[in-house]
Amino acid sequence: MPPVFDAGKCDGCGICDLHCPIDVIAIDEERRLAFARYSEECWHCGSCRQDCPTGAVDIVFPKKMLLV
């Protein structure tokens, strides 16, 4: 599930993609939008959210982690 990108704020600059230590994120060049290509590999480190210049990233934990 995490990270979730706000399409209204994300301009596809790619900083989150470069900084993700797990290579979870990719940029949809046509829509200029970041997306979690390998979301099941997210480590929830929050680097993408910390470094996003437009505040477009939200971390939403999967239910599998919250409800156990």
Partner 1 sequence: MGSAEQMGSVIETDVLIVGGGLAGLNAAIAAAEHGVSVVIMDKGGIARSGAMGGGIDHFTAYLETGEEWDTREAYLQNLGKVARGAVDLKVHNAIYCRELKGSIERLARIGNPLTQPDGTFYRTRSMGRDGPLSINFNGKKLKPRLADEVRRLGVRALEKVMTTSLLTRDGQVIGAMGFSIRTGDLHVVHAKATVLSTGRVDRLFETPTGIPFNTWQCPSDTGGAQAMAFRAGAALANMEYVLVSVVPKGFSAAGLNGLTGMGARLVNALGEEYMIRYHPHGSRAPRFKLAEGALTEIREGRGPIYVDCRHLSPAELEHLNMTLGYDKDTLPDFVRQKGIDLAKDPLELQVSEGAIGGPTGGLGSGIMIDERSAATVPGLFAGGDCTDQAGTCAPSVTSGYAAGKQAAKYASTVSSKKEIDWEQAAAERARVLAPMETKPGVHYREIEDVVQKIMWQGVGPARNELGLRKAIEKLDSVEPHLGDIGARDYHELMRANETRDLVLIGKIMASCALYRKESRFGAAHFRVDYPKTDDENWLGLVAARRNGEQIETSLKRLSYEMPEP
Draw the binding track, 6-45, toward partner 1 (x: CB under 8 A; -: no contact): ------------xxxxxx-------------xx-xxxxxx
User: Is the Cβ of residue 30 or residue 63 nearer to partner 1 in the bound state?
Assistant: 63
52 lines the binding site for partner 1 (CB under 8 A):
no
- Output the DSSP codes for 20-41: -TT--EEEETTTTEEEETTGGG
> Residue 35 corresponds to which tokens in the numbers above?
């997306």
HSE-up (13 A, CA, CB side) for residue 62? 10
Residues that bind partner 1 (CB under 8 A): 2, 18-23, 37-38, 40-47, 49-51, 59-62, 64-68
